[in-house]
A and B are shown apart, each in its own frame.
Chain A
Amino acid sequence: MTLSVRARIAHPNFIFDVDVDWPAEGVTVLFGRSGSGKTTLLRLIAGLERPSGARVSFRNEIWLNGRCWVPLYRRRIAMVFQEASLLPHLSVRENLLYGYKRTPIAERKLHLDEVVRMLAIENLIERNVNQLSGGERQRVALGRALLTSPRLLLMDEPLSALDTQTKRDILPYFERLAMEADVPIVYVTHAPAEVERLADRVVFLRDGHIDRVETIKHALSRSDSPLFNDEGVVSVIEGQLGLKKEHGLTLFHVGEDCFWLSNPIYSDGVGRSQRLRILAKDVGIVLTKPENTSLLNILPVTIQYIEHAREGHVLLGLRLSGGQNLFAEITAWSCGRLQLHNGVNVYAMIKTAALAE
């Protein structure tokens, strides 16, 4: 049950050469810089590119192999593009139903009412397409894609044209979709935060080649991951959202440990699985647990390894009591002064912990 692509496209200044497969389930992120071939790979899967000698197969169906060719409209794939791609001559409702009407009745799993509710677009449905904001357009585009009850959902940087606040508002919908809709998703992005939040596995692309395919856990556990190029090393910790207390803080359970979140929570639902995002440079180390401190999150950890980071700094690989990894970036001088080495039990002081968004 895999999605597999083999293709070679040679342009004068760009060679795209991949031979890759991954399980056709969950969220697979294609990650790389612009020009790395992410979009080309996505378009190959969609059947919008058809280079000679290429081979594309999905589960046990061959979509492209020599003369054998299934055109996009027969693949039952849905796509969400980077820019608003709603059909301007149709209303929001007509856009939503465009693919639904063309889906065989027996294949329709989702219906207008559910999708409209899921994406909170009830009040947009009678509007004209050009009266919508960027975020609303993407939500409608996502709804339109879902209404075809696709077997595979392809998304080409669906958030990159939106501003930060809109991104933050719309991401929960994508996240919910990834969890609730039982459809494999291939998601193209160059934003590490989206990867951390949504991905089950990551396909790293560089200069038209596949660098590696890793599970998100793997990708986040090595400090030289390309995901960390922008902001430095980040720890992503899985846990369950807990209750919001009267002092405005929200509990977040990670195994036996407990985090306090001070940032406003955009996601609803106690007990929902979420990912917490902590920058390595926001984590400090103390040998004994301090009593009087303004910091909220001070957790017992074990040092797993120590490696060199940027100049004058070391990166500590720490393990939480539940077994999850946490990175801390401290100065080499502090590391020497505290005489830190592998296997030592210390406390990690976390300056900010926020839900991945």
Chain B
Amino acid sequence: MEYLRQSLSLSAEDWTAIWLTLRLCLYTTLILMIIATPIAWWLASGRSASRTAVQAVVALPLVLPPTVLGFYLLITLGPRGFIGGTLEDMGFHHLAFTFEGILIGSVLYSMPFAVQPLQEAFANLGRRPIEVAASLGAGLIDRFISVILPMTKSGFIVAMTLTFAHTMGEFGVILMVGGNIPGVTHVLSTTIYGYTEGMQYAAAGRLSLMLLIFAFIVLFVVYWFNRGFEMVKP
């Protein structure tokens, strides 16, 4: 009981980390829904060498150590990198050790968790409902809103939840690209790392427990909708 009471007493630093983490997860999810939907649609609409190549690239974060992705990002986004350097030349700041930097890292790192469920949902949907809608006079955007979205709703819910949760669990990429700057790149996972390094086990335990419970809830929701998904299929 005492442990539980302690668990709820979070420091101001903790709250900053939670708020930052939530912002990062939210932005990542929104950006990925916009990027992943067309990619998943294209991947689901046939088989070709270029599709297989893109599919492999999208899945890379699943097998690479986060440090590898983080390393390349740091090099590209930093002041001497291709993107960071160009930004500096244009009078902007480079992206290493910034919120934008870790956001780009998160988007790339969580890409497979957004693309794969959508791709499966689109593949299950098939071409027929879209052809039917087109024959009934629905244009491209109309078809997306009136047929594709409602028929693949569960796929979108799964993709969004997984992306959100996976971004929350991110550590290596953020540490590499963002360092550990409070209020800027200091998210929950790196905060826990910081506490543990400083032997503040109680503080690390509080946040760890929070993440554990959150992760469980997310997975529960995902599997719940996945089950529903099977039942909805015509």
CB-contact partner of A102 in B131, B132, B136, under 8 A: B136
- When the two chains form their complex, are residues A81 and B134 in contact, meaning their CB atoms are under 8 A apart? no
CA distance A88 to B148 in the complex (A): 11
- When the two chains form their complex, are residues B137 and A99 in contact, meaning their CB atoms are under 8 A apart? yes
Chain B positions within 8 Å of A76 at CB level: 137
Report the nearest A residue to B135, measured CB to CB.
Answer: A79
B133 within 8 A of A: yes
CA distance A103 to B138 in the complex (A): 9
- When the two chains form their complex, are residues B151 and A102 in contact, meaning their CB atoms are under 8 A apart? no
Report the nearest A residue to B143, measured CB to CB.
Answer: A73
Q: Given that A81-B128, A85-B128, A87-B147 are contacting pairs, would A103 and B137 also be in contact in the complex, using a CB cutoff of 8 Å? A: yes
- When the two chains form their complex, are residues A79 and B234 in contact, meaning their CB atoms are under 8 A apart? no
- When the two chains form their complex, are residues A46 and B150 in contact, meaning their CB atoms are under 8 A apart? no
Fill in one digit per residue for A84-111: 1 if any B CB lies within 8 Å of its CB, else 0.
0101110000000011001100000000
CA distance A130 to B231 in the complex (A): 12
Chain A positions within 8 Å of B147 at CB level: 87, 89
A287 within 8 A of B: no
A148 within 8 A of B: yes
A216 within 8 A of B: no
CB-contact partner of B129 in A48, A71, A87, A102, under 8 A: A87
Q: Given that A72-B131, A81-B128 are contacting pairs, would A88 and B234 also be in contact in the complex, using a CB cutoff of 8 Å? A: yes
CA distance A354 to B172 in the complex (A): 78
Q: Kindly name the residue among A71, A72, A130, A144 whose own CB sees the greatest number of chain B CB atoms within 10 A.
A: A72
Chain B positions within 8 Å of A148 at CB level: 136-137
CB-contact partner of B132 in A71, A79, A89, A130, under 8 A: A79
B182 within 8 A of A: no
CA distance A85 to B130 in the complex (A): 10
**What number of B residues sit within 8 Å (CB to CB) of A?**
19
CB-contact partner of A46 in B133, B135, B138, under 8 A: B135
CA distance A76 to B135 in the complex (A): 7
A77 within 8 A of B: yes
Chain B positions within 8 Å of A144 at CB level: 136
**What number of A residues sit within 8 Å (CB to CB) of B?**
24
A78 within 8 A of B: yes
Q: Kindly name the residue among B131, B137, B142, B151 whose own CB sees the greatest number of chain A CB atoms within 10 A.
A: B137
CA distance A349 to B138 in the complex (A): 56
Report the nearest B residue to A144, measured CB to CB.
Answer: B136
- When the two chains form their complex, are residues A98 and B135 in contact, meaning their CB atoms are under 8 A apart? no
Q: Given that A81-B128, A88-B151, A89-B150 are contacting pairs, would A71 and B134 also be in contact in the complex, using a CB cutoff of 8 Å? A: yes
Fill in one digit per residue for B109-133: 1 if any A CB lies within 8 Å of its CB, else 0.
0000000000000000000110111
CA distance A144 to B232 in the complex (A): 23
Q: Given that A48-B131, A72-B131, A130-B234 are contacting pairs, would A89 and B136 also be in contact in the complex, using a CB cutoff of 8 Å? A: no
B139 within 8 A of A: yes
CA distance A286 to B131 in the complex (A): 56
Chain A positions within 8 Å of B131 at CB level: 46, 48, 72, 79, 81
- When the two chains form their complex, are residues B129 and A85 in contact, meaning their CB atoms are under 8 A apart? yes
- When the two chains form their complex, are residues B128 and A102 in contact, meaning their CB atoms are under 8 A apart? no
- When the two chains form their complex, are residues B234 and A98 in contact, meaning their CB atoms are under 8 A apart? no
CA distance A109 to B146 in the complex (A): 24
Shortest B146–chain A CB gap in Å is: 8
CA distance A130 to B143 in the complex (A): 21
Fill in one digit per residue for B70-94: 1 if any A CB lies within 8 Å of its CB, else 0.
0000000000000000000000000
Report the nearest A residue to B234, measured CB to CB.
Answer: A88
- When the two chains form their complex, are residues B136 and A81 in contact, meaning their CB atoms are under 8 A apart? no
Report the nearest B residue to A75, measured CB to CB.
Answer: B135
CA distance A145 to B137 in the complex (A): 10
Chain A positions within 8 Å of B234 at CB level: 88, 130
**Among all A-B residue pairs, the 8 with the closest Cβ atoms:** A99-B136, A102-B137, A79-B135, A72-B134, A88-B234, A89-B150, A73-B134, A85-B132
Question: Could you name 25 residue pairs across A and B whose Cβ atoms are closer than 8 Å?
Answer: A46-B131, A72-B134, A73-B134, A73-B136, A73-B137, A76-B137, A78-B135, A78-B136, A79-B132, A81-B128, A81-B132, A85-B128, A85-B129, A85-B132, A87-B132, A87-B133, A87-B147, A98-B133, A99-B136, A102-B136, A102-B138, A102-B142, A130-B234, A144-B136, A148-B137
